[in-house]
Structure 1
Amino acid sequence: MKKPEQPVNEQERLKALHSYELLDTLPEEAYDTITKLASYICDTPISLVTLLDADRNFLKSRLGIDMSESPRDISFCGHAILTEKPIFIVEDARVDERFQDNPLVKDFKAIFYAGVPLKTADGHALGTLCVYDHKPRILDEQQQEALLGLAKQVILLFEAHKQNIELQRSQEEAALRNDRLEDFARLIAHDLKSPLASIEGLVNLLSEDYAEDKDEDFTMFMGHLSTSAKSMRNYIDGLLEYYRADTLLAKRADITLETIVNEVKNIHKSGDIIISLANTINLKAVPVVAIEQVISNLIDNGVKYNTSEHPEITLSGDITKDFYSISVADNGVGIPQDMQATIFEPFKTMGTNDRNGNKGTGMGLATVKKLVEALGGVITVDSTFNKGSIFTFTIRR
């Protein structure tokens, strides 16, 4: 018997093998289906998907034997991964000096073997798709082609498994970063609110105490301080609202768009604002509070950035096979074309004051986008500068 040699790039090969995290995993139907097909096509009682570790041959899928691994130094697959040919074939191991006295031949009657190295795109042979028989055999050309085709499917399964692992890790890392960022934002917001309240109180106190002095410079400075403090408070509140968005998704219920609009109207009570509904739709099992928040933010945005004496907001709904669609139209100042692609990003604003003279924080539409995506939908805007905007968002049914 001749022990299989190690590939010249063995350490790199082992590193690649371990990156797939397939060793010691449970049997899977996708691999078992392939070994069944290989056994049927090649008319052999044994078929395996193997992975060559440092000192063992792990059997990811096995048909015809009970063991889950075997020593690498007696494995046929250890020789197979070294071949430059598409398939490594041993027609009769009893007369092959590499396998004479091999325990697999003597004790398990592994006489015939055919194995296809399972190579990555980088050329690392991780293992084999192989078949065994207890008697000498010859594979015809069609059987060999079929075995090669099945081996390609095994590689695709390997790659899909690796990609799923990488995706899961990326999602976990993203969730962890988001949690840390949320904790950081809450901490900063909490730490800022206390001194900010002191500043606002001091500004109000000074304004009242020196109101009779009528010093124009003093009045102007106090006005700037008051405006800055209010902007900072709005910024903090917007930041907290952005990170609280996910908590609005838990509770679901059946509701009509008309009911939601009526609830939102109560928040925006003002004789100057006209909110109307063009048509209603029935919404089934939706996060009502999240939808109310989206609509309320869009109405608030349409009112704040509006120079009309009577801001008008018109809502409408539609239903498709997979989505609910809700549009919120306003007669506000509109959004310049070159800014429409960025308005949903956090901290992005048009740089203009609203109807009350305040600058936006850039968190309102970012929160809307975050909520809509959590609802399984998308949000778009169709806007004409100085004429108004139509925001349309979808909710997956």
Structure 2
Amino acid sequence: MISPETPKNEIERLKSLRQLNIMNSLPEQAYDTITELASYICKTPIAVVNMVDEEENWFKSKYGTDLTGSPRDVSFCGHTILNPDRILEVPDTTVDERFKGNPFVTGENAIKYYAGVPLLDTQGLPLGTLCVYDSKVHQLDEKQRTALKSLGKQVEMLLESRRQNYLLEQMKIELNENNRILREFASTVSHDLKMPLANMILTADILKVKYSNILDKEGMDYISYLKQSGLTLSDYINGLLDHYSNNKAETGNVEEFFLNDLLEDIIDLLQIAENCEINLPDNNLKIFGNSAAIGQIFMNLISNSLKYNSREKIIIEIDCTENREFFNFKISDNGIGIPLEKQEKIFDLFTTVAEKDRQGKKGHGIGLSTVKKIVESLGGTIQISSIENEGTVFEFSIKRNEIID
């Protein structure tokens, strides 16, 4: 007997095998079907999908045997992976120098025939074999050899699919953990900054009142600038807190309300100027849902339509429809519009379109990202269509909380 040598690319081969996370995994029907078919086609009582680890062979799938693997130093498959570009077929193991004297050849239920196809990854590294065994001398014909190779390719596809799924799952776990850390960081920092900012804004107001008769216009402007900077940063922080606290909008209070009543309350809060015309839907929908979450969506979208509009006359149109599953809403304006190349990423966090809004302030790119999160948490979708210098249309849906009979 001759024990199999170690391949020159053993380190890379084992690394690829580890990435599969397949050793000692549970049986899977997809592999078991292939070993059963290999046994039938090759007319052998035993067929195995075998993974060759550092010191052992482990059977991912087996047909016709109760064994779960073997030590690598007495394995047949250890020899097979040394020549990954071809089948290893041994018609009579008792006369082959590599296998005569092998405990699997000389022992009870001795193996006299072996054929194995190397299983390669996408880099050509051999990870294991699809092999068949017989207790008597045997030999495959050309069609059987071709079929065994084809079945080996099917196993390779299963292994690669497993690899990709495992890598995606690991990436998902890592991404979720990174998002959790980011949410905690943003929330902690934002809360820690709110009080100092409030003190800074209040102090600016006190300075303005107490020293207005002492400071010149330039000094008063500096104080006003200090307060405005504090307010801007406060808005930014509040936006971050809103963004990271709206993961569970669907669990908020669900109540029955009329859409136009909600919209009128929002318009009152926004203190709409005389040069702005907001047309509410003709059909005043009765909605059973989370009014606070829906209100926040409309508040943000209407506010954007007001801020990013350079027309003398601002016009905002709001429309709504309903079907068995969704409430559908549309908000259109005659504002500055959004360039086509920016529309795809407009809902990404910290993405802004215009340098400054109508009042000369720069946006933070948080609002629309938060809107998208709320819409999706309510079971809906949101999309945008816009023409630069002509206007923008936002359309979004909210899944109904009740089913129409």
Q: Distance in 2 between matches of 1:310 and 1:85?
A: 72
Return 371-380 or 77-86, whichever deviates more.
Answer: 371-380
- 1:388 alignment counterpart: 391
Using the TM superposition, name which of 139-148 and 295-304 deviates more.
Answer: 295-304
Matched with 1:228 is 229
CA RMSD of aligned residues (A): 3.2
Say yes or no: does 1:190 pair with 2:191.
yes
For 1:68, the equivalent position in structure 2 comes to: 68
Q: Secondary structure at the match of 1:296?
A: helix
Cα distance, 1:192–1:19 mapped onto 2, change above 3 Å: same
Q: Secondary structure at the match of 1:121?
A: coil
Contact map agreement 2:190 2:237 (CA 8 A) in 1: yes
User: Alpha carbons of 1:159 and 1:201: their partners in 2 closer, same or farther (altered >3 Å)?
Assistant: same
Partner of 1:145: 146
SS of 2:4's equivalent?
A: coil
- Give the 5 Å matches for 1:1-397: 1-83=1-83, 85-105=85-105, 106-211=107-212, 215-250=216-251, 259=258, 262-269=261-268, 274-277=278-281, 290-306=293-309, 307=311, 311-317=315-321, 326-337=329-340, 339-349=342-352, 350-354=354-358, 358-372=361-375, 379-393=382-396
Q: Match for 2:73: what amino acid?
A: D
In the alignment, the residues of structure 2 paired with residue 102 and residue 396 of structure 1 have an alpha-carbon distance, to the nearest angstrom, of: 67
Aligned residue identity for 2:281 = L
Query: Would you say the 8 A contact 2:320–2:330 is kept in 1?
Result: yes
Q: 1:313 to 1:359 in 2, by over 3 A?
A: farther
**Which has the larger displacement, 297-306 or 186-195?**
297-306
Q: 1:372 Cα shift?
A: 4.5
Unaligned runs of 5+ in 1: none
- Mark the CA change 1:82 to 1:254 in structure 2 (over 3 Å): closer, same or farther: farther
| Structure 1 residues 323 and 58: CA distance shift in structure 2, 3 A | farther
What secondary structure is seen at the aligned counterpart in 2 of 1:142?
A: helix
Q: CA deviation at 1:366?
A: 2.2
Shift of 1:330: 2.2
Change (3 A) 1:85 1:223: closer
Q: Helix, strand or coil for the counterpart of 1:137?
A: coil
How far is 1:107 from its partner? 1.9
Aligned mates of 2:220, 2:323 — CA distance in 1: 55
* Aligned residues of 1:278 and 1:314 also touching (Cα < 8 A): no
Shift of 1:237: 0.5
Mark the CA change 1:208 to 1:376 in structure 2 (over 3 Å): closer, same or farther.
same
SS at match of 1:86: coil
Per the TM alignment, residue 114 of structure 1 is displaced from its structure 2 partner at its CA by 1.2
For the Cα contact (< 8 Å) 2:114–2:131, is it kept in 1?
Answer: yes
| TM-aligned CA distance change 1:85 to 1:12, over 3 Å | closer
Residue 376 and residue 52 in structure 1: after superposition, are their counterparts in 2 closer, same or farther (change >3 A)?
farther
| Aligned 8 A contact 1:308 1:331 in 2 | no
2:403 corresponds in structure 1 to none
CA contact (8 A) 1:90 1:114 kept: yes
Aligned partners of 2:253 and 2:104: how far apart in 1? Answer: 61
CA distance in 2, matches of 1:147, 1:377: 49
Query: 1:282 Cα deviation (Å)?
Result: 9.8
Do the aligned partners of residues 271 and 354 (structure 1) sit closer, same or farther apart at CA in structure 2, a change above 3 Å counting?
closer
Is the 2:85–2:118 contact (alpha carbons within 8 Å) kept by the matching residues of 1? no
Work out whether residues 249 and 378 of structure 2, in 8 Å CA contact, stay in contact via their aligned partners in 1.
no
C-alpha distance in structure 1 between counterparts of 2:376 and 2:126, whole Å: 42
Matched position secondary structure for 1:245 = coil
**Greater mean deviation of Cα atoms: 223-232 or 55-64:** 223-232
Q: Amino acid of the residue matched to residue 15 of structure 1?
A: K
State the SS of the aligned residue for 1:123: coil
The residue type paired with residue 41 of structure 2 is I
- TM-score computed with the length of structure 1 as normaliser: 0.86
Q: Separation in 2 of the partners of 1:288 and 1:118?
A: 58
- 2:314·2:334 contact (CA, 8 Å) conserved in 1? no
After the TM superposition, which of the residue ranges 7-16 and 42-51 deviates more from structure 2?
7-16
Q: CA deviation at 1:261?
A: 5.7
Matches of 2:41 and 2:291 in 1, distance apart?
Answer: 57
Q: State how far apart, in whole Å, the 2-side matches of 1:328 and 1:309 are.
A: 17
Q: Which amino acid aligns with 1:52?
A: V
Q: Using the alignment, how far apart are the partners of 1:283 and 1:148 within structure 2?
A: 62
Amino acid at match of 2:175: A
| Superposed displacement of residue 233, structure 1 | 0.9
For 2:169 and 2:292, the matched residues in 1 are separated by 30
Q: Deviations over 1:362-390 (max 9, x none)?
A: 21112223444566765432223444210
Identity %: 41
CA shift, 1:336, in A, is 4.5
The 3 A distance-change label for structure 1 pair 325 and 162 is farther
Please report how far the alpha carbon of residue 347 of structure 1 lies from its aligned counterpart in structure 2 after TM superposition.
2.8
CA distance in 1 between counterparts of 2:22 and 2:253 reads: 40
Summarize the Cα distance change of 1:168–1:91 in structure 2 as closer, same or farther, 3 Å threshold.
same
Unpaired segments ≥5 residues, structure 2: 401-405
